[in-house]
Structure 1
Amino acid sequence: MPAEPVAFSADEGGEGRGPRNLDAIMRIPVSLQVVLGSATMPVANLMKLGRGAVVPLDHRVGEPVDVVVNGRVVARGEVVVVEDDSSRFGVSLTEIVGAPAPGPAL
């Protein structure tokens, strides 16, 4: 069953806020992930992993990491230590990934 379209109307207050329902859209939760890298291995090797095991990833130190929102890469950045709490990491965005160009119609 197709989803109902969302109707937007101009803000009557004239404050330049845009559509009235924009506030509702801005509260929609999304899943954000920072991908440091990935690895492929046979299940047998996976089952041998234990505490202290190191899994080498396909990214190297200093390479940008992918910022993924709801399964789609939206940006790239560098891993940084958060200034207010040196026990936490963050990501400094270095590139915003644009929408893919439309391909030829099939």
Structure 2
Amino acid sequence: MVDEAGSPVGVSPFTQVPIEISVSVGKARPQVRELLRLERDAILPLDRKVDDPVELYVGDRLIARGELTEIEGDGSGRLGVRLTEVVDLRNGL
């Protein structure tokens, strides 16, 4: 059953609110002097390998892990994340 707006009856309106998810591919810990020397085309080494899982966060809460993948078909080289593990969020964020 749906209401006049087409939303399921009995479902909280908050389920329709968009949220921002951050994807962490790794961390770097340069010294300040190294950071100040960075120029265009410099490479900042991360603590992970290309094939390591990435982590998805809402705020500072880990919600899932996954693998980076290129989205096929649109020709733009855009990235996506294929989820491999999802945290149980039924008790809230």
**Does the aligned pair in 2 maintain the 1:30–1:70 contact within 8 Å?**
no
Residue equivalent to 1:38: 27
Separation of aligned partners in 1, 2:23 and 2:78: 14
- How far the C-alpha of 1:30 sits from its partner, in A, is 1.6
Separation of aligned partners in 2, 1:85 and 1:58: 31
Where structure 1 has 5 or more consecutive residues not aligned to the other structure, the ranges are 1-10, 100-106
Where structure 2 has 5 or more consecutive residues not aligned to the other structure, the ranges are none
Q: Under a length normalisation based on structure 2, what TM-score does the superposition of the two structures give?
A: 0.76
Instruction: Report the identity percentage.
Output: 36
Q: Under a length normalisation based on structure 1, what TM-score does the superposition of the two structures give?
A: 0.68
Whichever of the two has the greater Rg, that structure is 1
Residue equivalent to 2:39: 50
- Kindly report structure 1 stretches of 4+ aligned residues shifted beyond 6 Å: none
Establish whether residue 95 from structure 1 lines up as the match of residue 85 from structure 2: yes
Establish whether residue 73 from structure 1 lines up as the match of residue 65 from structure 2: no
Instruction: Give the CA RMSD over aligned residues.
Output: 2.2
- Count of residue pairs the alignment pairs up: 84
**Does the aligned pair in 2 maintain the 1:76–1:94 contact within 8 Å?**
yes
